[in-house]
Chains A and B, each alone.
Chain A
């Protein structure tokens, strides 16, 4: 074969490949047909809203089901959902929801108050072992029924006086109830359909699958191929279907941030919820119109095991907490707009911002450490920091290790463990200092501060304070919002003085999203409102 022939052949091959290669990108097809393609950051465990817990299950559930009340993602204001209106009794203990008469399940059946009562009966049935059943605990006797103390559901505060009236009686006033009602644990599920596929209280009942899943939301489940995609389509029986503009939503389960980002870049996805830190810097500098960084209701912090020396000494905990530079961690390590955390509850959580602030004061930290018996870090035992294996956790731990060495002259040892081993160590307080994170379930300080009470399974520090417990109990049993927040202020001040936890930063979400996605608003719950979203490319 002589050279020109080889050359012709190469050019021919390249032309064929290139010719058949150019194609319309999936997002362009999506824009034309109102088909949204978003990354969901993982494979949902279940689309039964009472079983599947977590953000990625939530993202699909809110397309398939609708609760009594919905949230406007623009300002987190509450709006009618399955209930067209509601009223609250003067003592704030009885909520009466008036259901829409045109509410329909996706199989065409009307939705009645009875459906809601049966749904709540199911989630509270002990055998179902629903992890989020506690979201219904403000309701009278809900906890007693869920923990098996009572067995007659009639004693629980859910009543359906008629087909379109749902009465919810609380054991004590809970001004934040409606912000809990928007959670998927309050969504209705079609009990009559569930019964066709097994016992309603069987958590492995396979009803929530394409072809059998029935919901009351703006979309219906059409396809679900594990680790490939979930496809939902506009639900024609939805009461407000004429205002739903998207025809389809594809949820992509890609978990790997880099893979998802490449899919976004190659026009396969309209948005991904999380860009890796290295990509965040790039997008913020070069393509700022494609990235939105916004705070969410979550904190990154360290826990102290207060039963283990030397961190059983409050002065040591305080010294360690004061001797770090949170701004440096947020700005140089995390680099996604995180806010340094000087208290535990994220600022402006339901209008609540903690008035007590931690200080960063190296001189005071040294003094406290000396007072605790370790002047200039002398004789300070080797203390271990435990974290689960992840690059970002390691980077933060290394930075802290360096700060503590420089500022306090103490040696901290880093110890990482595989996720489940780490969870086990934390649960059995088999650590001295441990990394932790917490994402709020609803917009109220209680979702953060409740975790540190003596009997909370999420405390894990061995810390117990009777006054703190009393204040939290007081706050959760009063309907007076000002009194509640005053109690939370006092409780959080105790927490920040006793220091079983060391707040580091408040999380942000660095989301990549194409400008053609309209009606999407960043919000602290990081939730979507698919009903109002649509696709409209900018005119060139």
Chain B
């Protein structure tokens, strides 16, 4: 197992290197620069701004310089926000996205697992059709529709919550529901599929024959195998959830990382783009690794293969 983890960790180095390189050249290849604006700065001012950030150097030299800084953990300054470093912006905004992501994950798992399990136990009954139809609807309704609908109902008409902002504990409810709903729907369908497959296995029939009750079968015997598809899905999904969602953060005015991830590209904020891409890449890599480890732990067959 340790060898497996070490090997996977070593594999991440070339992956991150390639991502950083591709990002760098794509970014600099895109038309327009960080200081372009409708009101043109004078040529001297523009030249000095570029010089200040080293953008006057040959491209390959800039690349080497940025790689050197990245190796030292320095993600560089933000062009859009003079005086702030990319490290600082990520340090401030990531905890917000992390919190929202965790809350959305709880929503996704609680609702998704429960609905999926119930549906698989009561296959082809109303207990199956209703939650699965809702899940299908949840998958189909985009967050930019779901969010404003929830706000209209619960913030504006019923006045239970603020329409947007991230100040009070209650401000977490609507964004977490909006972001979690899509994932809950996915988890529900995957759980149902996974459990249906497991519940038809011989060992479950044996357990039933020996007199095990519904709950015991579900949690003691079927759970470990039934949630395998969910675990595979959750790896990359959690990375996406925790690093922020542009749409949900915009609708609810949440100061998370997701917005920087998108806006940095629009602003040609080169260091911010690189920083957020690498940060996200690290998350995806880490969660894929974690998923693989959990899968090996859950599924003895994979252990034998190794």
CA distance A53 to B165 in the complex (A): 25
Query: Are B30 and A421 within 8 A (Cβ)?
Result: yes
Instruction: Given A46-B82, A420-B266, A458-B39, answer yes or no on A21-B160 (Cβ-Cβ < 8 Å).
Output: yes
CA distance A263 to B251 in the complex (A): 11
CA distance A425 to B84 in the complex (A): 30
CA distance A146 to B42 in the complex (A): 11
Partner of B45, one of A17, A46, A133, A420: A133
Query: Are A262 and B155 within 8 A (Cβ)?
Result: yes
Partner of B81, one of A45, A148, A262, A437: A45
Query: Are B31 and A420 within 8 A (Cβ)?
Result: yes
* A277 CB-CB contact with B under 8 Å: no
The interface residues of chain B lying within 8 Å CB-to-CB of A421 are 30-32
Q: Which of B148-172 contact A (CB under 8 A)?
A: 148, 151-152, 155-156, 158-167
CB 8 Å contact bits of A52-90 with B (1 = contact, 0 = none): 110000000000000000000000000000000000000
Instruction: Given A134-B42, A418-B266, A424-B32, answer yes or no on A22-B255 (Cβ-Cβ < 8 Å).
Output: no
Dominant secondary structure of chain A at its interface with chain B: loop
CA distance A209 to B84 in the complex (A): 10
With both beta carbons as reference points, the residue of chain B lying nearest to A425 in the complex is identified as B31
Query: Are B45 and A130 within 8 A (Cβ)?
Result: yes
* A13 CB-CB contact with B under 8 Å: no
CB 8 Å contact bits of B76-114 with A (1 = contact, 0 = none): 010011111000010011000000000000000000000
* A259 CB-CB contact with B under 8 Å: yes
Partner of B156, one of A209, A265, A458: A265
Query: Are A263 and B31 within 8 A (Cβ)?
Result: no
CB 8 Å contact bits of B25-56 with A (1 = contact, 0 = none): 00000111100111111111110110010000
The interface residues of chain A lying within 8 Å CB-to-CB of B195 are none
Query: Are A227 and B155 within 8 A (Cβ)?
Result: no
Instruction: Given A226-B89, A419-B266, answer yes or no on A263-B83 (Cβ-Cβ < 8 Å).
Output: no
Query: Are A262 and B163 within 8 A (Cβ)?
Result: yes
Dominant secondary structure of chain B at its interface with chain A: loop
Instruction: Given A254-B253, A268-B163, answer yes or no on A427-B44 (Cβ-Cβ < 8 Å).
Output: no
Partner of A254, one of B31, B152, B164: B164
* A281 CB-CB contact with B under 8 Å: no
* A48 CB-CB contact with B under 8 Å: yes
CA distance A228 to B267 in the complex (A): 19
* A1 CB-CB contact with B under 8 Å: no
Interface size on B, residues (CB 8 A): 53
CB proximity of A230 to chain B, nearest CB, Å: 12
Query: Are B93 and A227 within 8 A (Cβ)?
Result: yes
Instruction: Given A226-B92, A266-B159, A423-B37, answer yes or no on A46-B30 (Cβ-Cβ < 8 Å).
Output: no
Q: Which of B238-287 contact A (CB under 8 A)?
A: 250-256, 259, 266-268
Query: Are A266 and B162 within 8 A (Cβ)?
Result: yes
Query: Are B156 and A227 within 8 A (Cβ)?
Result: no
* A252 CB-CB contact with B under 8 Å: yes
**Residue among B30, B93, B164 facing the most chain A CB atoms (10 A cut-off):** B164
Query: Are A423 and B32 within 8 A (Cβ)?
Result: yes
Instruction: Given A227-B93, A258-B148, A421-B32, answer yes or no on A46-B40 (Cβ-Cβ < 8 Å).
Output: no
Query: Are A131 and B36 within 8 A (Cβ)?
Result: no
* A192 CB-CB contact with B under 8 Å: no
CB 8 Å contact bits of B184-201 with A (1 = contact, 0 = none): 000000000000000000
* A18 CB-CB contact with B under 8 Å: yes
Query: Are A126 and B44 within 8 A (Cβ)?
Result: yes
With both beta carbons as reference points, the residue of chain B lying nearest to A22 in the complex is identified as B159
Partner of B164, one of A126, A262, A419, A427: A262
The interface residues of chain A lying within 8 Å CB-to-CB of B93 are 226-227
CA distance A129 to B152 in the complex (A): 46
* A151 CB-CB contact with B under 8 Å: no
Instruction: Given A129-B48, A227-B93, A256-B250, answer yes or no on A206-B156 (Cβ-Cβ < 8 Å).
Output: no
In this complex, the interface size class of chain A, counting residues with CB under 8 Å from chain B, is 35 or more
Query: Are A148 and B160 within 8 A (Cβ)?
Result: no
Query: Are B42 and A226 within 8 A (Cβ)?
Result: no
* A36 CB-CB contact with B under 8 Å: no
* A51 CB-CB contact with B under 8 Å: yes
**Residue among A18, A146, A262, A424 facing the most chain B CB atoms (10 A cut-off):** A262
Query: Are A259 and B164 within 8 A (Cβ)?
Result: yes
Partner of A45, one of B77, B80, B159, B166: B80
Q: How many A-B residue pairs have CB under 8 A?
A: 152
Query: Are A268 and B83 within 8 A (Cβ)?
Result: no
Query: Are B253 and A204 within 8 A (Cβ)?
Result: no
CA distance A51 to B41 in the complex (A): 12
Query: Are A226 and B81 within 8 A (Cβ)?
Result: yes
* A205 CB-CB contact with B under 8 Å: yes
Query: Are A457 and B255 within 8 A (Cβ)?
Result: no
CB proximity of B220 to chain A, nearest CB, Å: 26
Instruction: Given A18-B160, A421-B30, answer yes or no on A227-B39 (Cβ-Cβ < 8 Å).
Output: no
The interface residues of chain B lying within 8 Å CB-to-CB of A420 are 30-33, 36, 266-268
Partner of A208, one of B36, B41, B83: B83
Instruction: Given A133-B45, A204-B77, A423-B32, answer yes or no on A259-B163 (Cβ-Cβ < 8 Å).
Output: yes
Q: Which of A431-458 contact B (CB under 8 A)?
A: 436-438, 457-458
With both beta carbons as reference points, the residue of chain B lying nearest to A441 in the complex is identified as B39
The interface residues of chain B lying within 8 Å CB-to-CB of A5 are none
Query: Are A129 and B49 within 8 A (Cβ)?
Result: yes
The interface residues of chain A lying within 8 Å CB-to-CB of B165 are 228, 252, 263, 268
The interface residues of chain B lying within 8 Å CB-to-CB of A255 are 250
Query: Are A423 and B36 within 8 A (Cβ)?
Result: yes
Query: Are A48 and B83 within 8 A (Cβ)?
Result: yes
CA distance A23 to B161 in the complex (A): 9
* A203 CB-CB contact with B under 8 Å: yes
Query: Are B92 and A259 within 8 A (Cβ)?
Result: no
* A379 CB-CB contact with B under 8 Å: no
Partner of A252, one of B152, B253, B259, B268: B253
CB proximity of A144 to chain B, nearest CB, Å: 11
CA distance A45 to B82 in the complex (A): 7
The interface residues of chain A lying within 8 Å CB-to-CB of B40 are 427, 457-458
Query: Are A268 and B164 within 8 A (Cβ)?
Result: yes
Query: Are B83 and A206 within 8 A (Cβ)?
Result: yes
* A225 CB-CB contact with B under 8 Å: yes
Query: Are B81 and A46 within 8 A (Cβ)?
Result: yes
The interface residues of chain A lying within 8 Å CB-to-CB of B89 are 226
* A33 CB-CB contact with B under 8 Å: no
Query: Are A127 and B48 within 8 A (Cβ)?
Result: yes
* A147 CB-CB contact with B under 8 Å: yes
Given contacts A147-B44, A427-B40, 4 further A-B contacts (CB under 8 A): A265-B163, A266-B163, A419-B266, A420-B30
The residues of B with any CB-CB pair to A shorter than 8 Å are 30-33, 36-46, 48-49, 52, 77, 80-84, 89, 92-93, 148, 151-152, 155-156, 158-167, 250-256, 259, 266-268
Pairs A–B under 8 Å by Cβ, sample size 11 = A147-B42, A253-B253, A258-B148, A259-B251, A265-B156, A265-B163, A266-B156, A419-B32, A421-B31, A436-B38, A457-B43
The 4 A-B pairs at the shortest CB distance, nearest first, are namely: A420-B32, A21-B160, A227-B255, A457-B40
The residues of A with any CB-CB pair to B shorter than 8 Å are 17-18, 21-23, 25-26, 43, 45-46, 48, 51-53, 126-127, 129-131, 133-134, 146-148, 203-206, 208-209, 225-228, 252-256, 258-259, 262-263, 265-266, 268, 418-425, 427, 436-438, 457-458
